[in-house]
Structure 1
Amino acid sequence: MPVTRSEAGADPAHLPLSRLPGVGERMAEKLAARGMLTLQDLWLHLPRRYEDRTSIVPIRALQPGLAAQVEGRVEAVERGFRYRPMLRVAVGDDSQATLVLRFFHFRAAQAAQFKPGARIRCYGTPRAGQHGLEIVHPSYRLLDEEDAGQLGELLDPVYPALEGIAPGTVRRLIGLALDRLPDDETLELLPLELRVGLNLPSLKQALLTAHRPPRDADLAALSAGTHPAQRRLALEELLAHHLSLRRQRIALQRQRAARLADGGALADRLRANLPFALTGAQERVFGQIRADLAKPAPMLRLVQGDVGSGKTVVAAMAALLAIEAGKQAALMAPTELLAEQHLANLRGWLEPLGVRVAWLAGKVTGKARAGVMRAVASGEAQIVVGTHALMQENVVFHDLALAIVDEQHRFGVHQRLALRDKGAGGNVVPHQLVMTATPIPRTLAMAAYADLDVSAIDELPPGRTPVQTVVLSAERRPELIERIRNACAEGRQAYWVCTLIDDSDEVVAQAAQTTYENLSASLPELRVGLVHGRMKPADKQATMRAFKDGAIDLLVATTVIEVGVDVPNASLMIVENAERLGLAQLHQLRGRVGRGSAASSCVLLYQPPLSAMARQRLETMRQTNDGFVIAEKDLELRGPGELLGVRQTGLAAFRVADLARDAALLPQAREIADALLAGSPDAADRIVQRWVGGAARYASA
């Protein structure tokens, strides 16, 4: 379809896909449902891999596991029905070797095409078969005798599937969209002076190379995502996300927040009453928070620290600065159990100082709930602790000055925004303090939290004994059962965590149930409890509380106990099928023990054989207790999704960039962002719009 005069002056990036030939109303709706609205969306829908059909490989030269294209003649055809329908086609070529093509799904008409002597060209990945190499379900075409079967000049892109749209259609539409790419200067958003030192292609050249690599392109680099064309695209995408976060921060800091500059007497009284001394790291981070709260702009600070590093007491001291100024603070946690733990700590620390601590969770109902709501609305409740119930529309604060969110990556973005908006009145918003016990590598923090100042409590309180970690094969279960018997005989408690991963929660619950029954039978003298995600919340809470109170010796659980259970008497943690979990989760589970003064152990049981990645993870756990070291390794092995949680807007959904692979581009992205915000704010807006679009509001939540 030719470009019309009215379109010629428009930005082709935003042309609707209905302008492409073959895209009627129905196809446009299908594409829109998958996020494809404009030509730009197709330009940025990059191949996930490439196939090299630019040459013919002799059958004798094929190597198992390496995809290749071959050409030859059909030598024999065999249909069989031994277990299921199967079609085998033997193909030979001038190298005097034979390759078997194997099909499990085929039609009779398809089978009839393969006649001995017919010329065929096929592409696929060979593997060892019963009679030499074979390719299962290759892509192929039959050639006429006069058909020279011209070879392509470009590598063939293979695109991520768009549900309900045939791969050939996706490829055709992207080809049509690429034909409408404007010239370099129209497409390019980075000013020339910023591009000079990059040694990377222009955006247009990068897009054309990524979609249509020439036959001599470095296929290994393209497959690894390290080709200069991909790095150019990744840089702009990282820049867009960074700009989006920075813009959110700039916008929020234009708003006002309560200046909590005076006071500190309550925090000093709390420090004096504590049965322990704050660590140097806690004092340093509290000083940073105190300086933030003294400003009239909203604080946006992330405090990260390992399990047991003392984040909650720092948060409590911050809350006291708000309370002393006559205002309110709120602390939100992702589970009732974790929220209750914070409630118990805060009441123990703050009520002796005359501070009213209120509790608001889903199970607070009826008159009790109405009473809490009145206390929150009147300001009588000075600090409110709860779960996502804090964010319900009918919860009204009198004067919320500080919002504290624990384990923020476990909340949806809209939920975090809702708590922030609770304090919005006029042009005033609450200060925000975000806490996480999942240490975040510096590179990831640069990308994920460009809108936040990051503090680290990187020092554990004195007296904490490091947990000894042991890695054992599942065959040694009997020894472990004896170890549990001995530990509990000495008055200690133990966890046995079932981590069987399956599509169904029910299967995990069944695995935990079976383990619970087996351990109860093997250890009849012990009080064994069971908790899993399919139990009613009240039953789950009751069991956890019984374990915390010492009424249960051995707790069999799924990973629901990963965050927030504080049982200082528990000294033994057994994690079954540990090879199935990521490092961040294993580290969180290990953090459930070693919380008292007794020597504690974590036993990681694995089911052999181990994959190379699983072996690396378990070896890392055995070698270090440092959450920051573990976080760096987890980023290297698994990427950012595990550390931040899939709900973290944008980060799990980068189109091109990979934070582990492209970490070296982050400082460049930050420098370019500084220059754009200072000198080319319009270009900054357009870059954000290109890559992030309407998600920008949620990126800083």
Structure 2
Amino acid sequence: MTAVPITALKGVGTALSLKLERLGINSLQDLLFHLPMRYQDRTRLYPLGALQPGAEVLVEGELRLADVVNGRRRSLLCRLQDGSGQLTLRFFHFNAAQKNALKTGVRVRAFGEVRPGSAGLEMIHPEYQVLTAGQPAPTPEQALTPVYPMTEGLTQVRLRSLVRQALVRLGPDDLPDLLPESLRRTQALPELLQALRFLHQPPPDVDQQALLAGRHPAQRRLALEELLAHHLSLTRVRQQIQQQGGWMIPLAPQHAAAFLQQLPFALTAAQQRVIAEISEDLQKPVPMLRLVQGDVGSGKTLVAALAAVQVIAAGFQVAVMAPTEILAEQHYHNFSQWCAPLGIDVAWLAGKVKGRQRRQQLEQIASGSAALVVGTHALFQEEVSFARLALVVIDEQHRFGVHQRLSLREKGAEGDRAPHQLIMTATPIPRTLTMSAYADLDCSIIDELPPGRTPVTTLVIPDSRRDEVVQRVRQACSQGRQAYWVCTLIEESEALQCQAAEVTAAYLAEQLSDLRVGLVHGRMKAAEKAAVMAEFKSAHLDLLVATTVIEVGVDVPNASLMIIENPERLGLAQLHQLRGRVGRGSVESFCVLMYHPPLSRQGRERLHVMRETTDGFRIAEKDLQLRGPGEVLGTRQTGMLQFRIADLERDADLLAQVQGLAQAFQSRPDLAAALIERWMGSSTSYAQV
């Protein structure tokens, strides 16, 4: 299939082709896959007496009034009547020619959105046509009118015209059907070109409800193909990584036993199961690609530490990467504590490690004397060189782009071998997302909390009861417990967030003068943050006021109360992470969500879910439903999961079929490559990293 350049269309020169390129349209095939985001119904005239606010409709009538009104904003008002009712057409921007054309007595056909106005229903700046007396009125459109995603300097009319040309120009040879005919028949799916023609020019009698809901067979056919292309591209990433081969890491039972012996508790059955799965992967001659999901506090870090011990015992290095300095530093302390009795040196690398200390760490990493290296994204900077990197552990994978994960893998690539990858997340990922976004990874779930953990009780109250909440903090701390007070702001400005936290800390220190109050926020130097966190962890502070920097990884078992201000401004996954900072000991713990009324419908739903359940997977499913896959996975910036037509929530039932189809495509790499190129084009470049 040869792509036909977009310049083959009449009227497309250099200037227009550059605008189309901004939409990812370089060929006629690209143009036909630039699908409408919605439709307008210009196929029939609606009587004025039957109009409803919010509807986009085509109307026709006679002007009974046309006048310029000087109100707060000067406007041209035209009163349209058709015998069944009336409608006002309002223009804020108009010229003399328009004013002269729109005069009393002429017939006008208009299309626009109906809105409530000061004198009944109105359309503001509708598209309109003055009908010439004695001439037959033009017939309405024969198909629904598509509305496309746009870019500056391009109009809907121009794009529709180009699509019409392309539909005439391209045939089945230019857009071959890549789905097996047997599948299309059994699923009653239309052919590709037929589906595309339908979606660009739906007939007036189409089931508009099905079309708007994305459930029409033509849309389902394309959604299935797009999900399949996405799945195949991730499978290709996996194959490319595993073609390099990996180091076969033998079991190290003595080292594992020595490691476990120092722990004051036994592993849960879920931890033991996941450790066995990882251990089996490490013994294979291909790089492990495994995602470990576990709710807050389920003991993922310990699982990673045991995998590290197995790799280090075989004479290799391990890198552990975390998204924030606070979490990375906590990992450094945990791993150092666990590894010291085994004689394993742990290096630490983050943005704040400077000068002589940094040079020393880099030398230890390069020479291999540091068997375990913990850090932030500083680990994949060019100056960092590993001696024998055989395992990469990435915590909170969704905080990193695909490129970052793969560039750290490159650090360990040696000849035809690549390091094993273990990816951990405490943000439970709905099964639908795991099947699609992480199709290149094997998945393990730690679905059991260590014994002694108590469920957290969640309370939802308005901020008008702030005084009661302050007293609750005093009461908890007077009983020897500790508390968090989290300040959230919707503004992007970190400075404003930190200022709010400072003001809150000062207010609480005044109200609770008998308590020791600390403050942590994103603008403090890393050393200052670490010092405050250490004070809190050692119980020298009663109350810690913080921004959401404490969301991930802070472990203080004595903290039993969490106050979150303005929780309606955070996503469910973030709220669940914050709540996970308490309930880490055996004492009863509480999370107070103190909202500012009035709540939006989505805000109410979010807080209701938090109050009803502590099940991370149920929360994740709801988060997906409310916010969409790009937000849940944090992949908006990576180019992943920006589907053109598929919707992971709506089309979840297609995913099992996609997996079955993907198996069939393994024997046809040419078809798989064509499918990936069709739907993902250059966005699959990360597969070549």
Residue type at the aligned position of 1:606? Y
Cα distance change, pair 681–652 in 1 and its aligned pair in 2 (3 A): closer
Does 1:136 pair with 2:127? no
Does 1:462 pair with 2:451? yes
Which of structure 1's runs of 4+ aligned residues deviate more than 6 A? Answer: none
Residue type at the aligned position of 2:32? W
Matches within 5 A, 1:605-684: 605-647=594-636, 649-678=638-667, 680-684=668-672
Q: Contact 2:292–2:446 at 8 Å: present in 1 too?
A: yes
Does 1:592 pair with 2:581? yes
CA–CA distance in structure 1, aligned partners of residues 632 and 499 of structure 2: 28
Deviations 1:6-60 (A, max 9, x none): xxxxx45x22212222221122223223422222221111111111011111111
Partner of 1:54: 43
Residue type at the aligned position of 1:136? I
Partner of 2:558: 569
Residue type at the aligned position of 2:24? G
CA–CA distance in structure 1, aligned partners of residues 496 and 136 of structure 2: 56
Q: Contact 1:289–1:318 at 8 Å: present in 2 too?
A: yes
Partner of 1:155: 144
Deviations 1:305-361 (A, max 9, x none): 011000000000000111110111110001111000101111111111111111111
Deviations 1:480-528 (A, max 9, x none): 1221222222333322223332354444444444434443443344343
Matches within 5 A, 1:247-646: 247-646=236-635
Moved more, 210-219 or 429-438: 210-219
Where does structure 2 lack aligned partners over 5 or more consecutive residues? none
CA–CA distance in structure 2, aligned partners of residues 483 and 86 of structure 1: 58
Residue type at the aligned position of 1:130? S
Residue type at the aligned position of 1:492? R
Cα distance change, pair 44–358 in 1 and its aligned pair in 2 (3 A): same
1:92, distance to aligned residue in structure 2 (A): 1.2
Residue type at the aligned position of 1:469? T
CA–CA distance in structure 2, aligned partners of residues 233 and 110 of structure 1: 44
Q: Contact 1:650–1:699 at 8 Å: present in 2 too?
A: no
1:371, distance to aligned residue in structure 2 (A): 1.3
Q: Percent identity?
A: 57
Does 1:77 pair with 2:70? no
Cα distance change, pair 82–547 in 1 and its aligned pair in 2 (3 A): farther
Q: Contact 1:184–1:204 at 8 Å: present in 2 too?
A: no
* Alignment TM-score, normalising by the size of structure 1: 0.94
CA–CA distance in structure 1, aligned partners of residues 197 and 289 of structure 2: 40
Cα distance change, pair 470–106 in 1 and its aligned pair in 2 (3 A): farther
CA–CA distance in structure 2, aligned partners of residues 202 and 558 of structure 1: 53
Q: Contact 1:649–1:695 at 8 Å: present in 2 too?
A: no
Partner of 1:119: 107
CA–CA distance in structure 1, aligned partners of residues 568 and 69 of structure 2: 40
CA–CA distance in structure 2, aligned partners of residues 354 and 531 of structure 1: 34
Moved more, 533-542 or 361-370: 533-542
Aligned with residue 694 of structure 1, among 677, 682, 685: 682
Moved more, 536-545 or 572-581: 536-545
CA–CA distance in structure 2, aligned partners of residues 82 and 535 of structure 1: 53
CA–CA distance in structure 2, aligned partners of residues 166 and 531 of structure 1: 50
The residue matched to 1:692 in structure 2 has which SS?
Answer: helix
1:608, distance to aligned residue in structure 2 (A): 2.8
Cα distance change, pair 111–308 in 1 and its aligned pair in 2 (3 A): farther
Residue type at the aligned position of 1:308? G
Matches within 5 A, 1:182-261: 182-183=171-172, 186-261=175-250
Cα distance change, pair 442–41 in 1 and its aligned pair in 2 (3 A): same
Moved more, 469-478 or 129-138: 129-138
Partner of 2:28: 39
Deviations 1:46-103 (A, max 9, x none): 11111101111111111222322211122223434433333332211121x2212233
Q: Contact 2:60–2:107 at 8 Å: present in 1 too?
A: yes
CA–CA distance in structure 2, aligned partners of residues 585 and 262 of structure 1: 37
Residue type at the aligned position of 1:43? L
CA–CA distance in structure 2, aligned partners of residues 455 and 566 of structure 1: 23
CA–CA distance in structure 1, aligned partners of residues 468 and 94 of structure 2: 53
CA–CA distance in structure 1, aligned partners of residues 31 and 615 of structure 2: 43
Cα distance change, pair 570–118 in 1 and its aligned pair in 2 (3 A): farther
1:697, distance to aligned residue in structure 2 (A): 4.7
Partner of 2:82: 93
Cα distance change, pair 164–186 in 1 and its aligned pair in 2 (3 A): closer
Deviations 1:619-676 (A, max 9, x none): 1111110101111222223221222112574543111111011001111111111111
CA–CA distance in structure 1, aligned partners of residues 158 and 536 of structure 2: 58
Where does structure 1 lack aligned partners over 5 or more consecutive residues? 1-10
1:130, distance to aligned residue in structure 2 (A): 2.6
Partner of 2:56: 67
Residue type at the aligned position of 1:325? A
Moved more, 326-335 or 175-184: 175-184
Q: Contact 1:308–1:460 at 8 Å: present in 2 too?
A: yes
* Alignment TM-score, normalising by the size of structure 2: 0.95
Deviations 1:175-197 (A, max 9, x none): 32232222278521123233332
1:249, distance to aligned residue in structure 2 (A): 1.4
Q: Contact 1:206–1:229 at 8 Å: present in 2 too?
A: yes
1:538, distance to aligned residue in structure 2 (A): 4.7
Cα distance change, pair 262–462 in 1 and its aligned pair in 2 (3 A): closer
CA–CA distance in structure 1, aligned partners of residues 77 and 512 of structure 2: 57
1:539, distance to aligned residue in structure 2 (A): 4.4
The residue matched to 1:187 in structure 2 has which SS?
Answer: coil
Count of aligned positions: 688
